[in-house]
Amino acid sequence: MMTDKLGYQQVAAATAVIKPTPAGLFSVTCIVAGAVTVYDSASAASGNILYTKTMVVGEIATWASHGIAANNGLVVVAAGTVNIAYT
């Protein structure tokens, strides 16, 4: 069986709606150091926090093959630059 392919989006010092519908969070990779928070939300920086941390360059937070389910969508607030892998 073929697994779903992951998409990714870079967020640079911004708030970004990664996906406004149910999604899976698979990794956060730090490109430029700073705080990052990932919310389970369709449109705003609010709702349940799925992940939050001040990251350093090269740091990777990963949830491997399982991911974290976001029932509403994924919104990322980044002070630095991160790449988000998601379904």
Question: 42-86, pLDDT tens digit by residue?
Answer: 999 999 999 999 999 999 999 987 899 999 999 999 999 999 999
Q: Two tokens at 13? A: 């010092």
Whether this prediction's pTM lies above 0.75 is answered by yes
Number of domains present in the structure of the chain = 1
Q: How far apart are CA 66 and CA 24, in angstroms?
A: 8
28 lies in some domain? yes
1 lies in some domain? no
pLDDT, residue 18, reads: 97
The Cα-based distances of 51 to 2, 15, 68, 78 in angstroms read 28, 14, 10, 12
Average pLDDT over residues 20-47: 97
Point out which residues pair with 64 in neighbouring strands.
none
Q: For tokens 């519908």, what's the residue?
A: 21
- pLDDT confidence of 4, banded at 50, 70, 90? low
2 lies in some domain? no
- pLDDT confidence of 3, banded at 50, 70, 90? low
76 lies in some domain? yes
47 lies in some domain? yes
The domain in which residue 19 lies consists of 7-86
